[in-house]
A and B are shown apart, each in its own frame.
Chain A
Amino acid sequence: MNTSVLAAENLAVESRLREGRRLPVLAGISFTLEAGKVLGLVGESGAGKSMIGRAVAQLLPPGFAVAGGALAFAGRDLVGMATQERRALLGREIAFIPQEPLSALNPVMTIGAQFGEHLARLGISSEARQREEARAMLEAVHLPRATELLRQFPHELSGGMCQRVLIAMAFASKPKLVIADEPTTALDATIQARIIALMDEMRHAYGASLLFITHDLRLAANFCDEILVLYAGRAVEKGEARELLSAPLHPYTRCLQLAVPSLSAPARELFTLPGEMPGLTTLQTLAGCRFAPRCPNAGEICRKEEPKLLAAAQGGEAACFRTELTLKIKTGDQAAPAMPKITAPLLLVEKIQKRYRSRHGLFGKTEVLAIDEVSFALAENEFVGVVGESGSGKSTLAKLIIGLEPPSAGRIELCGSDALDRSETARRRRIETAQMVFQDPQSALNPRRRVASIVTQVLEAAAPRLPPDERKRRAAELLAEVGLSAELAARYPSQLSGGQKQRVNIARALCAAPKLLIADEIVSGLDVSVQAQLIALLRRLRSELSFALLFISHDLAVVRKLCERVLVMRHGKVVEQGNTKDVFGAPQHPYTRELLAASGG
């Protein structure tokens, strides 16, 4: 008897371009997912991991098609299968858990109606039985007040609850295979841990196999039985999950492992992988191993021949000629940051409050206290982290300090002068003192300006008649400072990668040579290798330029890496603050403990 639930054999996916050209997106992907096991597909964005999930569902984006190889579900060929037959499988024997729980649910239908529709497809026609079944499933995923929940609309639920509903729906058909594409990426760390635990519980209870697609190697290693690491459309390593994390064979896996900051391990430098994953078109011109241009171990042979995925002596498979060198890639211990001299505070925040009024109906009014009596100080050249879940008021705090919104009460002082002064001279002074780096690089860069013009916007405002050459020179300086090549100066933001955009974002803020930089979630949503590059950049800039940083993040490990001091926020209040070492080493507040436990992994 064949126990494999999903098997791929030399699977290849290609993109068909208009001019009849074909670009391979995935090639030579082989794996077997045994019944009741969890297989993790790990890779950074653009590696092609989602394409595999989409190939199973036959939901490849337009212009993409399976070009070769076989993909079989329980011994049945999925690629050549008739549409009718596949439709009978999808949603029943093969279920999906999506990345964005909120957009996966129809906003105008109640949870009950959507669940009922799904159950009707599964053959439960009587409404009473649908309700009963839906309630049972919602209880199985530990959602309280299931009956009430069925009458609610998706927007009345939190992201974590929506994801639970979707998990309940996925398992309602008792599927053999569940495909989860980044199911926790959009969620907070504490909720993420609970959702992972729930998925684990459900798959055991229902005996389903799970294909878990993620960019987070550590998460995958904890949750999966086996892991397949993808790089630029190729499988570079395959192996038993824990072994793969503890002793990776492929240098790329090793670099991923070293690029993620850890909460528990002794502080060490993050490994920064140079460059970024090549795009589809550049890949075609690349001979030899696709990772070679970035690989610290690359030798002569790597640039000529493409390695095949081969079994290694110690178990596991890797596509690398020089696996014996992989574990030699190391990073040094992190030098303890020089404790800044505590001078007069650069930024002083005293009991600020921010109230939002929301109106509903004619007379209904509710007040939300987004920031509730927050006080803290920031010394010159000090890096302070602000952590908390979404909705804890972190971003609002940033907006109040930088002056995008006025606080409802309280005082903010910058360099000893009142930052809430609305006069034009005060505004000028604040611009020279404090700058902000925005969260979403997409929205923060004007798509109609070239990079050189964006990074020197401060000059444009301060001295509109500056000769263009002078601006160009300053732009080149700034780009060099943030580690971007000068040729990018003439590009538009749409021609940059995510990491490059964020560097441009930082360069613009640095143009005024500010004393305080406020960074709102600037590394979230980026791939780990890019994240490590940006952290290294901030640390280098600090020693070269000397500025203080208020670093807002939900990622505790990154904050531990970068900041000496940390504020933990919850529901608009600072529940704990202190030196990073003390707060993370011996948390006092139960909420801090919960956060640490959730992201400890």
Chain B
Amino acid sequence: MSSRPVKKALGFLRSGRVLVGAALVGIVLFSALFAPILAPHDPQEQNLVATLVPPVWSVDGDPTYLLGTDSLGRDVLSRLLHGARVAMTVAVLASLGAMLVGATLAHLGGYFGGKLDWLIGRAVDVWMSFPPVVLSLVLMTGLGAGISSVILAIVLVDWTRFCRVLRAEVLVTRHQDYVAAARLVGFSHWRTLTREILPATLPLLITLLSIEMGIAVIVEAILSFVGMSVGANQSAWGQMIADARQTIYESGWNLLLPMLAIFFTVLGFNLLGDGLRRTLDPRLLQAREL
């Protein structure tokens, strides 16, 4: 009897999307955490004798540089691994920040309604009418380059995504009788919000968080591509793409490898998010049980 809800809670592990997504994200996360140990070279170490070495599987490959070197003779594998650190830092911190701002406002607005809700709703409307890329570039110009600015810019641009979607979910839950019942048995607003409403919106929150992490990876890549993210002494995937642009005809792999890294990371987050949505959303759950 008690095993059923447990099985239900762990049901998401059976979904193929979640498994593949989690595996991809897990690999990237692992690389990021252990980059200093895993990387065979210092990512900034230049070897001007061995520039543009192709990956090891090509004819001219060199086993010391498994994925080859770039135009300055830096080891591509090491740079990719260290790039994952930047990507993951931004992904986790920026999406958590955006979630915190967006979800808080969504819950307050949706729960209390009235003037507060109106105010938050209009703020979201105005905010969303700016093109996001332009907005983040403007913000970056104001904040100056650097990884913390990238995080702040993403938080400031993307909180609206959480706010709008979650507010609708809060509204639906708010009108359930059990929320009114909780107030009637004496729950404070805070307790009602955290014990009755938040558990109902949590699945959506987790899903949005996962998707937002993928978006954050792309935004970070764009900003480091135009040189507004980390400095030249650190490696980031967008920066690697920008560098490899000049030698695209000599060494296509230099361009392709960071692109593949971005692609699989974002794919992983999206699969994870989509899979979680399918397994955690109670409405979809009910439809399947019928």
Q: Hey, which bits of chain A sit against chain B, CB under 8 A?
A: 61, 402-404, 427-428, 431, 435-436, 438-440, 443-448, 457-458, 460-462, 464, 487, 490-492, 495, 508, 511-512
Min CB gap A43→B, angstroms: 21
> Which A residue sits closest to B178, measured CB to CB?
A446
Most chain B CB within 10 A, of A445, A461, A464, is at A461
Contact indicator A457/B1 (Cβ below 8 Å): no
Partner of B181, one of A444, A447, A492: A444
Interface residue ranges of B170-208 to A (CB < 8 Å) = 176-178, 180-188, 191, 195-196, 199-200
Is B282 part of the binding interface, using a Cβ–Cβ cutoff of 8 Å? yes
Contact indicator A438/B181 (Cβ below 8 Å): yes
Is B2 part of the binding interface, using a Cβ–Cβ cutoff of 8 Å? yes
Write out the residue numbers on chain B whose beta carbons fall within 8 Å of the beta carbon of A403.
Answer: 184
Annotate B198-225 by CB proximity to A: 1 below 8 A, 0 otherwise: 0110000000000000000000000000
Min CB gap A449→B, angstroms: 8
Contact indicator A490/B187 (Cβ below 8 Å): no
Q: How large is the interface on B (under 10, 10 to 19, 20 to 34, 35 or more residues)?
A: 20 to 34
Contact indicator A461/B180 (Cβ below 8 Å): no
Q: How far is the CA of A495 from the CA of B8 in the complex (A)?
A: 13
Partner of A462, one of B2, B5, B186, B282: B186
Report if A428-B186 is in contact (Cβ < 8 Å); known contacts: A447-B282, A461-B191. Answer: yes
Q: Hey, which bits of chain B sit against chain A, CB under 8 A?
A: 1-2, 4-5, 176-178, 180-188, 191, 195-196, 199-200, 282, 290
Report if A448-B180 is in contact (Cβ < 8 Å); known contacts: A457-B185, A490-B2. Answer: no
Interface secondary structure of B, over-half rule: helix
> Which A residue sits closest to B176, measured CB to CB?
A443
List the 10 closest pairs (A to B, CB-CB), nearest first.
A461-B186, A444-B177, A443-B177, A438-B177, A431-B186, A446-B178, A458-B185, A457-B185, A448-B199, A461-B187
Q: How far is the CA of A457 from the CA of B187 in the complex (A)?
A: 8
Min CB gap A320→B, angstroms: 34
Write out the residue numbers on chain A whose beta carbons fall within 8 Å of the beta carbon of B1.
Answer: 487, 490-491, 495
> Which A residue sits closest to B282, measured CB to CB?
A447
Write out the residue numbers on chain A whose beta carbons fall within 8 Å of the beta carbon of B182.
Answer: 446, 457, 461
Contact indicator B180/A438 (Cβ below 8 Å): yes
Contact indicator B177/A461 (Cβ below 8 Å): no
Min CB gap A219→B, angstroms: 29
Complex A-B: 17 CB contacts under 8 Å:
A61-B290, A402-B184, A403-B184, A428-B186, A431-B184, A435-B185, A438-B177, A444-B176, A446-B178, A446-B182, A447-B282, A457-B182, A461-B182, A461-B187, A462-B186, A491-B1, A495-B1
Contact indicator A445/B178 (Cβ below 8 Å): yes
Report if A511-B185 is in contact (Cβ < 8 Å); known contacts: A445-B178, A447-B282. Answer: yes
> Which A residue sits closest to B182, measured CB to CB?
A457
Contact indicator B185/A431 (Cβ below 8 Å): yes
Min CB gap A500→B, angstroms: 14
Write out the residue numbers on chain B whose beta carbons fall within 8 Å of the beta carbon of A402.
Answer: 184
Partner of B184, one of A404, A446, A464, A492: A404
Contact indicator B185/A446 (Cβ below 8 Å): no
Q: How far is the CA of A36 from the CA of B202 in the complex (A)?
A: 57
Write out the residue numbers on chain B whose beta carbons fall within 8 Å of the beta carbon of A428.
Answer: 186
Min CB gap A596→B, angstroms: 31
Contact indicator A436/B178 (Cβ below 8 Å): no
Q: How far is the CA of A447 from the CA of B9 in the complex (A)?
A: 13
Min CB gap A505→B, angstroms: 8
Write out the residue numbers on chain A whose beta carbons fall within 8 Å of the beta carbon of B2.
Answer: 490
Report if A512-B185 is in contact (Cβ < 8 Å); known contacts: A438-B180, A443-B177. Answer: yes
Write out the residue numbers on chain B whose beta carbons fall within 8 Å of the beta carbon of A461.
Answer: 182, 185-188, 191
Write out the residue numbers on chain B whose beta carbons fall within 8 Å of the beta carbon of A439.
Answer: 177
Q: How far is the CA of A438 from the CA of B183 in the complex (A)?
A: 13
> Which A residue sits closest to B289, measured CB to CB?
A494
Min CB gap A541→B, angstroms: 18
Report if A440-B177 is in contact (Cβ < 8 Å); known contacts: A446-B196, A491-B1. Answer: yes
Q: How far is the CA of A457 from the CA of B196 in the complex (A)?
A: 11
Report if A508-B185 is in contact (Cβ < 8 Å); known contacts: A404-B180, A445-B178. Answer: yes
Q: How far is the CA of A394 from the CA of B154 in the complex (A)?
A: 51
Contact indicator A436/B184 (Cβ below 8 Å): yes
Write out the residue numbers on chain B whose beta carbons fall within 8 Å of the beta carbon of A404.
Answer: 180, 183-184
Write out the residue numbers on chain B whose beta carbons fall within 8 Å of the beta carbon of A460.
Answer: 187, 191, 195
Min CB gap A9→B, angstroms: 30
Contact indicator A492/B5 (Cβ below 8 Å): yes
Min CB gap B194→A, angstroms: 12
Write out the residue numbers on chain A whose beta carbons fall within 8 Å of the beta carbon of B178.
Answer: 443-446
Most chain A CB within 10 A, of B2, B5, B185, B200, is at B185
